[in-house]
Amino acid sequence: MNPDEQAAAAVLTSYQDALNASSTDMVMKLYAPTGILMAQHYPSSIGTAALRQAYDTIFNTLTLKVKFTIEECNQVAPEWIFARTSSAGTATLNASGEGGPEANQELFVLQKIEGAWKIARYCFCTTNPPRT
């Protein structure tokens, strides 16, 4: 990886840490102001206010303990990188304490803004088998 790709990979590690800390504030520091979250089964969350609301809802609903693996991280332009990751761990419902395996594949588009890499777009889908 070149230095920009290494810096973007560090953002992804920080994102993993923010999820595991259930910290909307930590997550928000990693997103571009015009960032978009495209979560499976939900409409896109576009911009700072919608992102904050989405992550507050996620963290109020469940606790994640996940580990990201960077499958690829490619700089495609001086200010743009895409990264493909996979993640695995557990998700626990806060209301009931019930939990189970959590596994996803993810696609991140990162943008260099004022010298710092930020998440511009993020989408994910589960790799767990369908529930019966």
pLDDT tens track for 7-66: 999 999 999 999 999 999 999 999 999 999 999 999 999 999 999 999 999 999 999 999
Q: Does residue 132 have a pLDDT over 80?
A: no
pLDDT at residue 130, as a whole number: 79
Q: How far apart are CA 28 and CA 15, in angstroms?
A: 9
Q: Does residue 4 have a pLDDT over 80?
A: yes
pLDDT at residue 86, as a whole number: 98
How much of the chain exceeds pLDDT 90, in percent?
95
Whole-angstrom CA distances from 112 to 6, 16, 103 are: 13, 19, 28
